[in-house]
Amino acid sequence: MEEEIGNELGSRDVCAEIAIYDGTAVVTGYKIEMSTEAVNVNLIDGSKAIREISYEIAAQRNWRPDWLNEGVKGFISVRDKLAQIYLKSYPSEVNPALKVFVPTKEYLLAMKCMAIRPGSTEHDVDDIKRLVSDLRYTTADQVLDLVAGFYPKISCAEGASE
């Protein structure tokens, strides 16, 4: 899917950047597969063109028009740019029309902790557990310190007591 979007951007002579916050993909080694499921993204550059192309893809494949989901914006940290890893360019590194970035595992863990709510799915909890394990954190304080580092204006202690 990324290649298709990159090719279409290239044919429109548009360069774009996108950050993909797909938790499972990042947790399992940055293997991202866009599908009919919602893909959590932040459109950095070229957002108008990417939206147009995503709507066209949705119509062609009978997918939900909002399969490229920007709902993650509410959890973007002030330190977002510092916590991104360049993943790949499409259609190629030589002729990039779409540059794809992903968050570091630390940033993704902080985001998932901020987003977790009562009633969250077991999948969300499992992602957090896997990230904590991958990062070799052994205490809640380590995780809370990490979250506070990405979201400095929010007190984890205050949020936990409410």
CA distance 77 to 79: 5
Domain residue ranges in the chain: 2-104, 107-152
pLDDT digits (tens, 9 = 90+) for 17-64: 999 887 645 654 555 554 546 788 899 999 999 999 999 999 998 988
Is the C-alpha dihedral spanning 42, 47, 48, 52 positive or negative? negative
- Kind and range of the H or E element at 32? none
Q: Is the pLDDT of residue 115 over 60?
A: yes
Answer for the pair 32, 100: CB distance below 8 angstroms, yes or no.
yes
Confidence (pTM): 0.81
